């Protein structure tokens, strides 16, 4: 589900072409993915933001409690930590987001897909088109070499 879970931060923060990827994992059986992993990506600055570190956790691994700052986290989701607050979205598809703790992030209306579809003046573009998804795939497979 990684491609769905990281879609929100990847596209919202315009993440492309990591400059570094470091993975820690355990429980390999040489035939499938590991039982757990923690993968840290470094993305360079661009015209809209400074450099960013993104860390992926799975297999029961979690960020520390002081970073997570939620009562009981869901089994999947995204947490974006910025200078002005934290945005937490439980689940794989970026829905149900909420601001955690103290924040200077201004209130904003939540995205309404139905209203956007009704008010669209041009052809709709699927979020799964290759231009949107291939950068995530390239970043996830950075320096990957099967053994």
What b/e string do you get for 67-102 counting C-beta neighbours within 10 Å, with b at 16 or more?
ebbeeeeeeebbbbeeeeebbbbbbbebeebebbee
Q: Write out pLDDT tens, residues 48-107.
A: 889 999 998 888 888 888 887 766 778 888 888 888 788 888 888 777 777 777 666 565
Cα torsion through 49, 61, 90, 9, rounded to 10? 20
pTM to 2 decimal places: 0.71
N-term to C-term CA, the chain: 23
Residue 145 lies in a domain: no
Residue 50 lies in a domain: yes
Average pLDDT over residues 119-140: 60
Residue 117 lies in a domain: yes
Residue 26 lies in a domain: yes
Residue 29 lies in a domain: yes
Residue 135 lies in a domain: no
Average per-residue pLDDT in the chain?
Answer: 75
Residue 128 lies in a domain: no
CA–CA dist 28, 32 (Å, integer) = 7
From 11-20, 38-47, 98-107, 123-132, the region with the lowest mean pLDDT:
123-132
Find the domain containing 83 and state its range.
Answer: 2-123
Counting the structural domains of the chain, the total is: 1
């Amino acid at each position: 589900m990684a491609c769905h879970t990281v879609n929100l931060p990847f596209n919202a923060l315009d993440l492309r072409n990591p400059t570094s990827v470091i993975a820690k994992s355990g429980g390999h059986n040489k035939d499938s993915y590991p039982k757990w992993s923690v993968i840290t990506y470094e993305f360079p600055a661009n015209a809209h933001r400074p450099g960013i570190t993104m860390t992926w956790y799975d297999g029961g691994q979690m960020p520390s409690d002081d970073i997570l700052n939620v009562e009981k986290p869901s089994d999947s989701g995204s947490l974006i930590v910025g200078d002005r607050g934290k945005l937490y979205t439980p689940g794989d598809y970026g829905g149900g987001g909420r601001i955690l703790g103290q924040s200077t992030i201004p209130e904003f209306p939540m995205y309404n897909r139905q209203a956007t579809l009704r008010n669209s003046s041009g052809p709709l573009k699927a979020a799964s088109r290759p231009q949107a998804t291939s950068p995530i795939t390239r970043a996830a497979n950075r320096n990957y070499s099967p053994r």
